[in-house]
Amino acid sequence: MRTSPNIIITGTPGVGKTVHSEQVAEETGLKYLSINQIAKERECYDGYDEERQSWIIDEDKLLDAIEDEVTEGGYIIDWHACDLFPRSWIDLVVVLRCPSTSIFYDRLSSRGYPQKKLEENLDTEIFGLLLEEAKEAYDEEIVIELNSENSDEIESNCARIAAWVESWKKSHAETTTSWGNAVQ
């Protein structure tokens, strides 16, 4: 039984996943797991998309590369998709959103994305595709949507997620203790 939860912080590129993930990891003691970094370090690629100027992840290889770690619990997973992770691994899915298209456009433009990639990400965000993906892949009660347009929202979001982690740990410690007492 895990003693710490696993949380996916997901959303379209540019919504603040890394900022949130790193801050929540620091506040909670959970380990930060950047899927981009893992894919690079452990060579979990299936090619390169020239048009989008990005690597294509080999999902099976990626899951094999992180399974032993993640199933133990205690991870903040930073990735722009969530439906590839088995339900049994995940306790909370946080979908970050940036409803202001002008703010979002500026964030993506500053990254120097090719026009096609910029337009695809804008469309994905506008239509809420990643939120729908999360709701289809996981039980809706573990999926939350949070806006991430400014530093006040980031601070509030991180505090909310950290409080959830503490609550999860407390409720699971009580369950473990109760179960342990029942066995004795």
Assign 175 a pLDDT band (cuts: 50, 70, 90): low
The yes or no reply on domain 7-161 and CATH 3.40.50.300 is: yes
For 41-73, how does the pLDDT look when each residue is reduced to its tens digit (9 = 90+)? 999 999 998 887 788 999 999 999 999 999 999
What are the binding residues? 14, 16-19, 111
Q: What mean pLDDT do residues 80-93 have?
A: 95
Q: What mean pLDDT do residues 92-114 have?
A: 94
DSSP letter string over 80-143?
A: S--TTS-GGG-SEEEEEE---HHHHHHHHHHTT--HHHHHHHHHHHHTTHHHHHHHHHS-GGGE
Assign 113 a pLDDT band (cuts: 50, 70, 90): confident
What are the binding residues for ATP? 14, 16-19, 111
Cα–Cα distance between 168 and 184 in angstroms, integer? 24
The whole model's pTM is what?
A: 0.90
The rounded percent of the chain whose pLDDT value lies above 70 is 95
For 121-174, how does the pLDDT look when each residue is reduced to its tens digit (9 = 90+)? 999 999 999 999 999 999 999 999 999 999 999 999 999 999 999 999 999 987
Q: pLDDT averaged over the chain?
A: 92
Task: Say which residues have a Cβ less than 8 Å from residue 127's Cβ, sequence separation at least 6.
Answer: none
| Closest to 169 measured CA to CA, from 62, 74, 97, 81 | 74
Q: What is the pLDDT of residue 174?
A: 72
